[in-house]
């Protein structure tokens, strides 16, 4: 179980987060593409493009949550929070 004093994400929780993040982004991307196709009658094209966008977004989500897990290990004991927020691109120091 998780030790509250460490606050470091459990490996299993990390795995569950990433897997659903990836799948959900692909579904949302494909869904948006399908809807736009439905409205503008451009049948297959936008679905394909947005599916790929969704895939990229899913991988980006995974990358981001992986990066979020790391700084809490090394930034431990530094007093104030030095986490990289959701959108900073720099790798953890």
Partner 1 sequence: MDFSLIAAAHAEAVTDAAHAAPKMDPLHHFQVHNYIDITPFGLDISISNSVLWMWIVVGVVFGLFHLAMKNPTLVPGRLQSVAEAGYLFVDTMINEIIGHGGKKFFPLIFTLFFFVLFCNWTGLIPGSFTVTSQLIVTGTLAMGIFGFCIFLGALHHGWKFLGFFVPHGLPPALLPLMVPIEIISFLARPVSLSVRLFANMTAGHTVLGVLFFFTALLEWFSPLPFGFTVVFTGMEIFIGFIQAYIFTILTCVYINDSLHMH
Which of 69, 31, 23 is closest to 50 using CA atoms? 31
Q: What region, left, alpha or beta, does residue 44 occupy, with left being phi > 0 and alpha being psi -120 to 50 degrees?
A: alpha
Interface of this chain with partner 1, residues 17 to 76, rule: CB under 8 A = 17, 20-21, 23-25, 27-29, 32, 50, 53-54, 56-58, 60-61, 64, 68, 72
Please report how close the Cβ of residue 60 comes to partner 1 at its closest, in angstroms. 5
Please report how close the Cβ of residue 25 comes to partner 1 at its closest, in angstroms. 4
**Residues 6+ positions from 50 with CB-CB distance below 8 Å:** 29, 30, 32, 33, 34, 36
Report DSSP state, residue 63: H
Residues forming the site for partner 1 (CB under 8 A):
1-2, 4-5, 7, 9-10, 12-13, 16-17, 20-21, 23-25, 27-29, 32, 50, 53-54, 56-58, 60-61, 64, 68, 72, 80-81, 83, 85-89
């Amino acid at each position: 179980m998780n030790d509250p004093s460490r606050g470091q994400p459990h490996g299993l929780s990390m795995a569950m987060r990433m897997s659903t993040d990836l799948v959900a982004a692909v579904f949302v991307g494909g869904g948006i593409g399908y809807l736009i196709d439905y409205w503008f009658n451009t049948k297959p094209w936008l679905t394909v493009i947005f599916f790929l966008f969704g895939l990229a977004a899913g991988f980006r989500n995974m990358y981001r949550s992986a990066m979020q897990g790391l700084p809490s290990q090394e930034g431990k004991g530094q007093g104030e929070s030095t986490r990289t927020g959701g959108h900073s691109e720099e790798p953890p120091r």
